[in-house]
C-alpha cells in the first residue's frame, strides 16, 4: 500500500522537495560568484527561480491534485508576459522613439 493518496503527501516527499529547494538555492548563490554576463546570469537565476516556484506550487500548494484547467490558468498569463516582452523588445533595445 502506498503512503501517498490523492489528498495526502508523505513527509518523505516534503523532505525531498525541501532538499531540492535547498540545492537550487545553493546553485543560485553559487551562480552569483561566477564571472559571466549579466544577461546570462539573469536568465539562469530566473530559470532556477521558476523551477523552485513550480516545486512549491505543485507540492506545498497541492496543485498536483488539481484538474487540467489550473494549468491553463497558470500558463495563459505566462504566455501573455512573454508576448509583452517580445513586442516591446525593439523599444527596449533601441530606446524610446525620439
- Whether residue 80 sits in one domain with residue 56: no
Q: What are the grid coordinates assigned to 39, written together?
A: 544577461
Residues 5, 75: Cα–Cα separation, whole Å: 26
CB neighbourhood size of 8 (10 A): 9
Residues 88, 97: Cα–Cα separation, whole Å: 12
Query: Looking at the whole model, is its pTM more than 0.75?
Result: no
Give pLDDT tens digits for 34-74: 998 888 888 899 889 989 988 888 887 777 767 777 777 77
- Whether residue 56 sits in one domain with residue 24: yes
- Whether residue 12 sits in one domain with residue 39: yes
DSSP element (H, E) containing 1: none
- Whether residue 30 sits in one domain with residue 73: no
Domain that holds residue 6: 1-65
Amino acid at each position: 500500500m502506498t503512503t501517498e493518496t490523492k489528498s495526502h503527501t508523505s513527509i518523505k516527499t516534503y523532505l525531498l522537495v525541501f532538499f531540492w529547494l535547498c540545492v537550487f538555492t545553493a546553485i543560485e548563490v553559487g551562480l552569483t560568484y561566477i564571472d559571466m554576463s549579466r544577461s546570462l546570469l539573469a536568465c539562469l537565476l530566473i530559470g532556477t527561480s521558476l523551477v523552485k516556484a513550480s516545486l512549491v506550487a505543485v507540492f506545498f500548494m497541492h496543485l498536483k491534485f488539481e484538474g487540467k484547467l489550473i494549468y491553463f490558468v497558470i500558463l495563459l498569463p505566462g504566455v501573455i508576459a512573454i508576448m509583452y516582452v517580445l513586442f516591446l523588445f525593439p523599444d527596449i533595445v533601441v530606446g524610446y522613439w525620439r
